[in-house]
């Protein structure tokens, strides 16, 4: 009788363990599917927007209303505002079917909402270039950990003196873009008096989009001890389900609002490089949440790249 009960308890424990493992795997797969679906939608819409990016020459753009401007926000994410053709074949030919489009995040720390705003007009008092708030846009994706654009220049469009493109810029791109060459102080090819001169406006040749989406289940742990700003080892309660090191796209963890690159995983510890993805090293207390996400990348070529359409 005792033997039978022991066997029964053993089988019951094994069944419970199997069921818990199956439920966890199911929830992980569903969370991954949702993240992939959300990212696919964002990359498809954003890709279409970028492919329709437009610059007008000076005689058709005397007020320099047509721009393509992307900055990096304090939260490390990109904010992009630009003018594009409307893909609608029924668009009004008098305004050439142009519209303002903005992609940006809300909040100071992840998870963010990724927002998309559209205005069927260019310039004026209510321009998205002049003012942009979370209320202006609709949610394109929630549970976003990171959204960043990198721009690759058309070297042939930057021919004026002092505007040479370096091999590093051609290979790695730049994190900001200013088609006017006169608005963003950190734009590498900023030129004097260019803000009011539409004839030297430029678009990038291509744009690399990186989007990280947090899953609704998994990829979550907690610090087991304090992590000073200079610490390179994070002791956590589990590393199960987190991305392995060595992947330039996905090997990152987020603690509070600081991203860190995963260098090594040993047991329940991460070895990390601090202050990744445009964030700064900071001290984190025991119990702080550690998260990772699914990261996606898309490269979009700009048909209208180079200087303004003539």
Comparison of pLDDT for 202 and 251, the residue scoring more? 251
CA dist., res. 115 & res. 127, Å (int): 16
Q: Which residue has the higher pLDDT, 136 or 96?
A: 136
What b/e string do you get for 169-188 counting C-beta neighbours within 10 Å, with b at 16 or more? beeebbbbbbbbbbbbeebb
Question: What Å distances lie between residue 288 and 106, 109, 122, 217, 251, CA to CA?
Answer: 22, 14, 45, 17, 19
What would the pLDDT profile of 277-305 be if each residue is shown by its tens digit?
A: 999 999 999 999 999 999 999 999 998 76
Query: In percent, how much of the chain has pLDDT > 90?
Result: 63
pLDDT tens per residue, range 203-251 = 999 999 999 999 988 899 999 999 999 999 999 999 999 999 999 999 9
Q: How confident is the model at residue 97 (pLDDT cuts 50, 70, 90)?
A: confident
Cα torsion 173, 174, 175, 179 to 10°: value is: -120
Tell me how far apart the alpha carbons of residues 54 and 99 are, in angstroms, rounded to a whole number.
10
CA distance 177 to 153: 9
Predicted pLDDT of residue 8: 54
And the tokens for 249?
């796209």
Q: For residues 272 and 267, give the distance between their C-alpha atoms in angstroms, rounded to a whole number.
A: 14
pLDDT band at 157; cut points 50, 70, 90: confident
User: Considering only 90-104, 107-121, 250-264, which range has the smallest mean pLDDT?
Assistant: 90-104
- Of the pLDDT bands very low, low, confident and very high (cuts 50, 70, 90), residue 199 is confident
The pLDDT assigned to 29 comes to 83
Most confident range, picked from 126-135, 160-169, 192-201, 229-238: 229-238
Q: What pLDDT score does 271 carry? A: 98
When pLDDT is averaged across residues 10-31 and rounded to a whole number, the result is: 63
Q: What is the pLDDT of residues 100-121, one digit of tens each?
A: 999 999 988 899 999 999 998 8
CB 29 within 8 A of CB 217: no
The burial class, CB within 10 Å (0-12 / 13-18 / 19+), for 2 is: exposed
Q: Angle at the Cα of 31 (from 26 to 36), degrees rounded to 5?
A: 125
The mean pLDDT of 152-171, rounded to a whole number, is 84
Distance in angstroms (rounded) separating the CA atoms of residues 32 and 294: 8
Domains along the chain?
47-212+297-307 (no CATH), 220-292 (2.40.30)
Q: Residue 58 has what pLDDT?
A: 45
**What confidence tier does 56 reach under pLDDT thresholds 50, 70, 90?**
low
> 24 CB contacts (<8 Å, ≥6 apart)?
218
- For residue 197 the two structure tokens come to 């001169």
């Amino acid at each position: 009788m005792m033997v039978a009960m022991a066997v029964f308890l053993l089988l019951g424990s094994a069944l419970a363990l199997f069921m818990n493992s199956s439920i966890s795997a199911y929830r992980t797969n569903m969370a991954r599917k949702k993240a992939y679906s959300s990212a696919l939608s964002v990359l498809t819409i954003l890709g279409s927007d970028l492919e329709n990016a437009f610059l007008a020459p000076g005689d058709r753009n005397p007020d320099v209303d047509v721009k393509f401007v992307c900055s990096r926000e304090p939260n490390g994410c990109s904010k992009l505002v630009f003018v594009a053709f409307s893909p609608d074949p029924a668009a009004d030919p008098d305004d050439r079917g142009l519209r303002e489009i903005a992609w940006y995040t809300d909040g100071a720390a992840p998870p963010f909402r990724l927002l998309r705003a559209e205005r069927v007009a260019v310039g004026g008092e209510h321009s998205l270039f002049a003012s942009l708030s979370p209320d202006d846009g609709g949610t394109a994706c929630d549970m976003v950990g990171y959204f960043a654009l990198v721009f690759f220049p058309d070297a042939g469009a930057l021919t004026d003196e002092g505007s040479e493109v370096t091999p590093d810029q051609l290979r790695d791109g730049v994190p900001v873009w200013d088609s006017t060459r006169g608005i963003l102080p950190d734009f590498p090819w900023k030129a004097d008096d260019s803000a009011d001169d539409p004839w030297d406006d430029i678009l990038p040749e291509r744009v690399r989009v990186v989007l990280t989406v947090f899953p609704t289940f998994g990829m979550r742990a907690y610090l087991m001890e304090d992590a000073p700003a200079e610490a390179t080892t994070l002791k956590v309660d589990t590393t199960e389900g987190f991305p392995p090191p060595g992947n330039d796209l996905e090997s990152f963890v987020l603690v509070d609002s600081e991203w860190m690159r995963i260098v090594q995983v040993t047991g329940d510890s991460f070895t990390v490089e601090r202050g990744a993805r445009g964030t700064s090293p900071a001290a984190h207390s025991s119990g702080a949440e550690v998260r990772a996400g699914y990261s996606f990348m898309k490269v979009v070529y700009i048909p209208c790249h180079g200087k303004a359409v003539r």
